Amino acid sequence: MDKISRIKDKMRELLTLKRYNHTLGVEKVAIELAHHYGADINKVRKGALLHDCSKQFTLTRMHELCDCDETIKTYGHLGELLHGFAGSVYAREEFGITDEDILNSIRYHTIGRRGMSIVEKIIYVADAIEPSRTHEEVQTIRRLAYENIDEAIIHEVDRKMEFLIKKEAIIHPNTVDMRNWLLHNRKGEGINELEQRI
């Protein structure tokens, strides 16, 4: 059995049917985007299939996974958002994934980060636009995803931040930093210049 088949079998065990179908949707969109942007299909498939691998773990289990990795201990306050970080550890332990591109695509698929690779960007966007997503902005983000993936991410982040602000929820600094970084790239100016105007 190849690694992809093994991952799919394990995800079928770990996830609810709804979450598993979401995962397959993310894989489908991620493969399409990988073809479009010339990204590594194998990396993208693994990232997509494993992005929610720890989603249904208890928070205690997520903390157990993260506590054995010094580089992500500091994210322990994230609550349910910790599943990306816990998932990256689980993917390494359970499937022997060592490629940092794949691990980062799992780790940061909810909060993002400055300096994301194309594989990370694809998983971030595919998670937001897979076929079962129905929010009112999804068609615009789907279109943008094939025109300019950075613009798709900015649009998705703006939507997410507006939602979180209305809920009076905390916005993770990584998300704000990622948005600023993408805007900096769009405007072609120094990040410090951009941040001074904010």
- At 127-160, the pLDDT tens digits run 999 999 998 899 999 999 999 999 999 999 999 9
Confidence check: pLDDT of 69 > 80: no
How many other CB atoms sit within 10 Å of the CB of residue 41? Answer: 12
Confidence check: pLDDT of 194 > 50: no
Q: Which residue has the tokens 């129905």?
A: 134
Superfamily of the domain at 3-197: Hypothetical protein af1432 (1.10.3210.10)
Q: Which residues are CB-neighbours of 169 under 8 A, at least 6 positions away?
A: none
Q: Are 19 and 52 in contact (CB under 8 A)?
A: yes
Question: In 76-192, which ranges are E strands?
Answer: none
pLDDT at 182: 95
Q: Where are the domains of the chain?
A: 3-197
User: Per residue in 81-106, pLDDT tens?
Assistant: 788 989 999 999 999 999 999 999 99
Q: Which residues are CB-neighbours of 34 under 8 A, at least 6 positions away?
A: 40, 41, 44, 119, 122
In this prediction, residue 64 has a pLDDT band, given cuts at 50, 70 and 90, of confident
pLDDT at 1: 53
Confidence check: pLDDT of 187 > 80: no
Q: Is 15 left (phi over 0), alpha (psi -120 to 50) or beta?
A: beta
3-state class (DSSP) for residue 99: coil
